[in-house]
Amino acid sequence: MTLSPASSSAPRLFYYFLLGSVVLSLGFNWPILDKAVEVVPPLWLMTFRLWGGALVGFAMNVLVGKRPSLPRQDWKIVAVLGVFRLAAIFFFVFYALQILPPGRSGILVWSSTLWAVPIAVIFLGERMSKLQVNGLLVGVVGLGMVLEPWTIAVSEPRIILGYLMLLGAALSGAWTTVYIRAHRWGGTALASTPWQMLCGGVPALAAALAIDGFPDIRWTWGTGFLVGYQMTLAGPLAVWAHLEALRHIPAISVNLTLMATPVVALLASWWLVDEQLGLPIVLGLALITAGVASNVLGDRTMRPIRSGLT
């Protein structure tokens, strides 16, 4: 397979493979982000990710011999996704990571996969198999055990602000996921990817210049790797793969599969930044994994009752 637009006849397994690549790249990105915000101001990190990702996205189109043309019917959704899905979520996450540990932050943000399920049922008319319902319930219990809400200290306003920012990121991710599935697309996922990042990059650059001014960054090979990861694997490649999957798999199936992302984020944080994993977290990770497996097995290639709402 190449980066060229996938055909409607492509095996369903291919789109789950794309989702798996998103889970790995974004899961590992949490401890990487934790290190990145220590050496690059968050607003500038967001700006580099979006503008650099746009350039990489255009290059991806050139590599497969496609023009990144954007039909008029996609202008609105591309602008919305650029601002509310990319720029807004990045902003919330980058600042929250200066307050909260990366593993738990990843769990809260990827709770968006749970919020998106009832939204998809209500607005898209999507249905769930019994196995998927059971997988969702098991996943919710697993997320609760991993999050350990009884241990969260909410006495400090700064801590509360961090959790509110992550909740805002999760809700923004949820409704835009359903919006992607509902939209009647005119162009390809690959063509829209760099334009989304440009639309998010404009307000990001304006905010970075207005708030932080020109950054004083000590560039090293390590800094270059941290920024480069944002501009490639965690940027346009993840955006394209996620969007391609959403256009061929029901939003419920996509989001239940993406519940695996906080599992990878926690394991990567334990491995790379020594985040502690207690028994409740380990059991929770096992339940989330079982929930994701139930979703994939329970996906009976069902189509939504309503799609293409815009």
Q: What is the pLDDT of residues 58-97, one digit of tens each?
A: 999 999 999 999 999 999 999 999 999 999 988 888 788 7
What SS3 class is residue 283?
Answer: helix
Residues 191-233 pLDDT 10s: 999 999 999 999 999 999 998 899 999 999 999 999 999 999 9
Q: Which helix (H) or strand (E) holds 169?
A: helix 157-182
- Which structure tokens are listed for 117? 């399920």
CA angle 13, 16, 17 (to 5 degrees): 90
User: Tokens for 106?
Assistant: 């990843």
| Best CA proximity match to 290, nearest among 177, 131, 117 | 131
CB 243 within 8 A of CB 188: no
Q: Can you give the pTM of this predicted structure?
A: 0.81
Rounded Cα distance, 69 and 49, in Å: 22
Across 95-118, average pLDDT: 74
Query: Strand, helix or coil at 35?
Result: helix
pLDDT tens-digit map of 110-162: 777 777 777 888 888 877 778 878 878 887 888 778 777 776 666 677 877 88
Candidate ranges 20-34, 166-180, 194-208, 275-289; pick with highest mean pLDDT: 194-208
Q: Report the percentage of the chain scoring pLDDT > 70.
A: 89
Q: Which amino acid is at 253?
A: S
